[in-house]
Structure 1
Amino acid sequence: MNIRDQFKLKVFQSEGTEYEKLFNDLMKLSTPGFRSVKPHGNIGDRGNDGWVQSEGKYYQVYAPEELFKNTDEAIKKVKSDFVKLKKYWDSISPIKSFYFVLNDKFKGVSPHITKILEEIKNENGLDDAGVFCNASMEELVLTLRQDAICSLLGVSHTETNPLYEDKKKVREFLDNLSFVTEELFESGREAGYFFPSNVFYFIQNWKNKDWQFQRLLSSNPITRNNQLNMREQLVLMHNQVSFDQNYDDIGVVFKFKPPYDLVGRDELIESNKDSMGEFIQKFANSYKIVRDYSV
């Protein structure tokens, strides 16, 4: 998975205090001067889950399991948290900005919540106030250094590297064709006379699953073109066997069996071997490029 997908997975796995921790960890990595606030006994955090004291910037986190079912509750929380915030914290560091951090699961936020925050901003003369949703957090994640991203998401450096992900996808593509390449490279041009049945039926099934093929195409143009060529050559091999009535499925292989009394029979057999050999050679040339990229 790429960084965006890794972050989304982390968000979906985080509820309540776990989401609050994710937010605090991100802010500490991305925002100079940010400090989280630990709740104290029955007085809680007094409407402040994190702040940048020197800038008068405050954050309050709300992470219900299903936000769209809790819009009214979220509106109440915005109002009550700001009242608590202003009553206690405004005297410590005057409130200039107030952000309501919402785990919206990337679905967006009700305009009613945004409206309430705009009212709070205007009524209290704030420089800024608004919703800080998952998209806002994602923007911050993408500004971090690679090592900070790995620390935040709990993944290795390679797992967040787009090139790693692309090569992994290409390796899966090659793995799906492993027995095909083994059979064809061993047979060579002789596959024009004895074509492996398991390869024939694999291609027949595979070429009807375009979605599966497209999923494993590389984002690298050269690699992608060679993957497409590998598929094209396999389809041409399949068509040669499928459209020629002289091929007979005898179990393990399709044997090319033109009539014994056919004039030019031997030449026809050699011609079929040559054409199949060309398909396999073109397939092999592309295979080498794709394989080298995947390493």
Structure 2
Amino acid sequence: MNLRDKFKLKVLQSNGTQYEMFFNEVMKNACHEFQSVKPHGNIGDRGNDGWIQRTGAYFQVYAPEELFKNTEAAKKKVKSDFITLKAYWEQISPIRSFFYVVNDKFQGVSPHISLVLEEIKSENNLEKTGVFSTSNLESVLFRLPQESICSLLGVSQPQVDQLYDDRKKVREFLDSMASVFDELFNLGREAGYFFPVNVFTFISEWTDSDWQFRRLLSSNENIQDHQVNMRSQLIKMHNQVRNDNYYEYIGRSFKYKPPYDLDNRNELIKSKKDSMGKFINKFAESYVVVSDYST
């Protein structure tokens, strides 16, 4: 699992309090001026879950279940909580911007929340208001040094280094056959009728270097299976052309040219296109998985 997947899992598993703690830790790492507010007795935090005094930026964190049950209730809550914030904190440090932090589970926040924040901005002459979503938190987190990201997500640096090295190896695997992708994906099943000579030559040379292929296999078994499948489909394409005497070299392609007087000539051509199309589709399916892993 990569770091972004780890982040998404942490977000999805966090309840209101857990998410508030995670938000505060990320912000403290990202901005040394950010201050958390610890609730005191029955007065709580007076609507302030974190702030940056110099810029007058204040943050309130909400659990998603507080937001979406009722539009009017959610709007009233946002305004009420801002009033609580302003009544206590304005005298300590003027409020210039107000951010509504919510663990939206990557689903987005209803437009009515943005609307009420604009009303708060206008009514209180603020410089800025806005929703601070999980996507915003993700952006802040992944601008941090990698060791900080690992610490916040509970991942060891060696694990990340191993993943980085493995992905680098898989990218090299894909780069080694970059010339093949455009040709095959553009042609599709038509490659069964005109098969590119450069692709045929590449497969011949590439499959002769088994050690090179093995060197670039991922340590992730699922990805490795897809790499093996990509190679297998290329070999099947190569064998279809090599083992059929009706394929004729015509310069840049091998053209499938069964005799014109064959009764089933059209059916033969169609069958070669269909089989090649299946090989390419299976190759492409694995390519998508391997490519996603490598990024």
Q: Same fold (TM over 0.5)?
A: yes
- Aligned: 1:85 with 2:92: no
Letter of the 2:125 partner, please give it: G
SS of match in other structure, 1:113: helix
C-alpha deviation, 1:41, in angstroms: 1.4
Q: How does 1:1-295 map onto structure 2 within 5 Å?
A: 1-65=1-65, 67-69=67-69, 71-160=71-160, 163-164=164-165, 166=167, 216=223, 228-233=230-235
8 Å Cα contact 2:28-2:34 kept in structure 1: yes
Query: TM-score, normalised to structure 2's length?
Result: 0.58
- Once residues 68 and 216 of structure 1 are traced to their aligned partners in structure 2, the CA distance between those partners, rounded to angstroms, is 39
SS of match in other structure, 2:54: helix
SS of match in other structure, 1:55: coil
- Once residues 43 and 11 of structure 1 are traced to their aligned partners in structure 2, the CA distance between those partners, rounded to angstroms, is 28
- Once residues 103 and 72 of structure 1 are traced to their aligned partners in structure 2, the CA distance between those partners, rounded to angstroms, is 20
Cα deviation per residue 1:135-187 (whole Å; 9 max; x = unaligned)? 110110110000100111111224445525637989xxxxxxxxxxxxxxxxx
8 Å Cα contact 1:169-1:217 kept in structure 2: no
SS of match in other structure, 1:69: coil
C-alpha deviation, 1:70, in angstroms: 5.4
Letter of the 1:232 partner, please give it: L
Larger radius of gyration: 1
Structure 1 portions without partners, runs of 5+:
171-214, 238-295
Cα deviation per residue 1:4-35 (whole Å; 9 max; x = unaligned)? 21111110110011010010001001123001
Query: TM-score, normalised to structure 1's length?
Result: 0.58
Structure 2 portions without partners, runs of 5+:
172-221, 240-295
Q: Mark the CA change 1:86 to 1:66 in structure 2 (over 3 Å): closer, same or farther.
A: closer
Q: What's the % identity of the aligned pairs?
A: 55
- Once residues 119 and 88 of structure 1 are traced to their aligned partners in structure 2, the CA distance between those partners, rounded to angstroms, is 20
- Once residues 66 and 223 of structure 2 are traced to their aligned partners in structure 1, the CA distance between those partners, rounded to angstroms, is 34
- Once residues 67 and 124 of structure 1 are traced to their aligned partners in structure 2, the CA distance between those partners, rounded to angstroms, is 22
- Once residues 8 and 169 of structure 1 are traced to their aligned partners in structure 2, the CA distance between those partners, rounded to angstroms, is 23
Alpha carbon RMSD of aligned pairs, Å?
Answer: 3.4
C-alpha deviation, 1:101, in angstroms: 0.3
